[in-house]
Amino acid sequence: MCEQMETNFPPELISLLRACRRAAALTGAGVSQESGVPTFRDAQSGLWAQYRPEDLATPEAFRRNPKLVWDWYAMRRARADSVAPNPGHYALVEMARCIEDFTLITQNVDGLHARAGSPKVIELHGNIRRVKCFECGQPAATWREDGETVPRCAACGGLLRPDVVWFGEMLPSEALDAAWAAARACQVFFSIGTSGLVQPAASLAYAARGGGAAVVEINLEPTPLTAQADFFLRGKSGEILPALVAAVWGQTQ
């Protein structure tokens, strides 16, 4: 550990985090924004500008036009593969080293937390790199693209789809149970780079509060959670998180 850094963080927040033994963090698209992944609700560019993400991320959209949905995810997968984790992702890896029991819960499907080195990430909305069968649910380790059609399941011949949670679908129950348990048990709950508009993820902060946790929100702008948060740190997560980690625990190497 090196010397503490001078910062403008509230002293109560610094002491709270130094004493904290159990924390949980929920991240959203804002955390990946500085890596170059557009946030979910950002305007789409180019050929995709005519579609709302909400109209592509549903089972109905896939049934209606599987190739369109497959291609949209292929584009997003390629984008996620071409970017790298940012300082916000790395600061969360550090936080997991500094806090005895730290649970990272993400709504992001880009896999950047795992690539940064975060242990045990709870991926509430799945992962864009994984693919499974739309019919039988069997995961597909490999698949072949011919550019013309949607690849098919080796087991049942059904169409393959990304292993992400679409609107109207259930979240993976094991991941959701683990997220609720961490939220209820933590002393500090971070809500980072998420608009807090999508359930059930948006309720985790309230469950944490109900269990007596302090809620720390980091976002570029206020959200529906802000009025309930104990601390609202306004700005980019890629700047605030590393500064916070350095201020609380010093620069660990």
Q: By C-beta, is 39 or 103 nearer to ligand OAD?
A: 39
Tell which phi-psi region holds residue 157, choosing left (phi > 0), alpha (psi between -120 and 50) or beta.
left
What's the per-residue H, E or C state across 62-75? HHHCHHHHHHHHHH
Q: How far is the CB of 228 from ligand OAD (least distance, A)?
A: 15
Q: By C-beta, is 34 or 163 nearer to ligand OAD?
A: 34
Q: How far is the CB of 2 from ligand OAD (least distance, A)?
A: 25
Q: How far is the CB of 169 from ligand OAD (least distance, A)?
A: 8
Helices (H), the chain: 11-19, 29-33, 53-56, 59-64, 66-82, 87-98, 112-116, 173-185, 204-210, 237-249
Q: Side-chain half-sphere of 90: how many Cα atoms within 13 Å?
A: 14
Q: By C-beta, is 44 or 251 nearer to ligand OAD?
A: 44
* Contacting positions for ligand OAD (CB under 6 A): 28-30, 33-34, 39-41, 57, 107, 125, 165, 193-195, 197-198, 218-221, 223, 236-238
89 is catalytic: no
Q: How far is the CB of 136 from ligand OAD (least distance, A)?
A: 22
Nearest residue to ligand OAD, by Cβ distance, number only: 30
Active-site hit among 77, 113, 125, 132 = 125
**CA gap 139, 156 in Å, rounded:** 12
**CA gap 112, 110 in Å, rounded:** 6
Q: By C-beta, is 107 or 127 nearer to ligand OAD?
A: 107
Contacts of 19 by beta carbon, 8 Å cutoff, 6+ apart: none
Q: By C-beta, is 18 or 64 nearer to ligand OAD?
A: 64
Q: How far is the CB of 185 from ligand OAD (least distance, A)?
A: 23
| Residues known to be catalytic | 125
